[in-house]
Amino acid sequence: MSARRSRRQSQRARWRDESGFTLLEVLLATLLMTVILAALATVTAQWLPNWNRGMARVQRAEKLAIGMERALADLSVAEMVPMSGDGKRPLFEGNELAVTFVRTAVGPNTRPGLEIIRLIEKADADGLALVRERAPFAPMPADAQIRFVDQVVLVRAPFRVSFAYAGPDQVWQPTWRDQVQLPNMVRVSVRDAGTGQVLAVSSAAIVHVNAPAECARAKNAVACLAARANPAAGKKEEQL
């Protein structure tokens, strides 16, 4: 009995010795885990900045596309509306860095009617940006000051936007002012401010209505536009 009991005790003691970890095994496991964590930290430190830069480029490209889409949509629906009731020339003034025109008001916070839109490059604390401004339309003198509100940034640095205008002759011009009709097309060019390279996102808006309705119904649209541009000459031709 004593021999059997001693064998059982020795076997239990051997099991207790084999069931745990030695201090050396714990130290080796800790060292291995430290090496693995250090390797993961090194890989993450090299990969995370590149991932952040890639995400920033994607977000910047998406914002640029949305801003361009908004600008082109506004320009395409510009309307033949003069500043005053007796005016013959529509409100459309454009240069390379700004364009002002009239369109039908749309949006959840706008009243039915017309509104004046201005796309203009401005500078703020974050650099140059193409800003969309609007003002309710009302007949006013040609030299009246328009008070724009609701400034919304469409395109921000490092991108810069410039405009060009083409009439029926399809010749691009840097300005469009005091014309009897709207331009047929408005080109919106986007450049990288650092390199000056024109980006592929650049496009052109085709103006849907660019001449008055009376000239569209006239037999000779060109003569009608000429008469509106020079009323005195038009009256003289009618007398002849």
Number of structural domains found in the chain? 2
> Are residues 88 and 192 part of one domain?
yes
Q: Distance (Å, rounded) from C-alpha 188 to C-alpha 177?
A: 17
- Domain assignment present for 21: no
Residues in contact with 160: Cβ distance below 8 Å, sequence separation at least 6, in sequence order: 121, 128, 130, 190, 191, 193
Question: What SS3 class is residue 195?
Answer: coil
pLDDT in tens, 133-147: 999 998 887 778 889
Q: Distance (Å, rounded) from C-alpha 112 to C-alpha 203?
A: 29
Residue 15: how many CA atoms within 13 Å on its side-chain side? 6
Residue closest to 204 by CA, chosen among 181, 172, 156, 233:
172
> Are residues 65 and 122 part of one domain?
yes
Q: Which residue has the tokens 């536009």?
A: 225
Q: What is the pLDDT of residue 2?
A: 59
- Domain assignment present for 35: no
Is the pLDDT at 173 greater than 90, yes or no? Answer: yes
Give φ, ψ of 132 to 5 degrees: -100, 125
Compute the chain's Rg from CA coordinates: 36
> Are residues 113 and 169 part of one domain?
yes
> Are residues 233 and 181 part of one domain?
no
Tell me how many degrees the CA angle 98-102-105 measures, rounded to the nearest 5.
Answer: 120
- Domain assignment present for 107: yes
> Are residues 170 and 124 part of one domain?
yes
Q: What is the pLDDT of residue 8?
A: 62
Is the pLDDT at 238 greater than 50, yes or no? Answer: no
Whole-structure pTM value: 0.71
Q: What mean pLDDT do residues 21-39 have? A: 80
> Are residues 215 and 174 part of one domain?
no
Q: What is the pLDDT of residue 45?
A: 75
> Are residues 226 and 122 part of one domain?
no
Residue 206: pLDDT band (50, 70, 90) is very high
Tokens of 82: 């003069």
Q: What mean pLDDT do residues 108-125 have? A: 87
> Are residues 218 and 106 part of one domain?
no
> Are residues 74 and 143 part of one domain?
yes
Residue type, 93: E
Q: Residue 229: give the domain boundaries.
A: 211-240
Q: What is the pLDDT of residue 34?
A: 86
> Are residues 231 and 126 part of one domain?
no
Q: What mean pLDDT do residues 180-208 have? A: 92
- Domain assignment present for 118: yes
Q: What is the pLDDT of residue 239?
A: 43
- Domain assignment present for 32: no
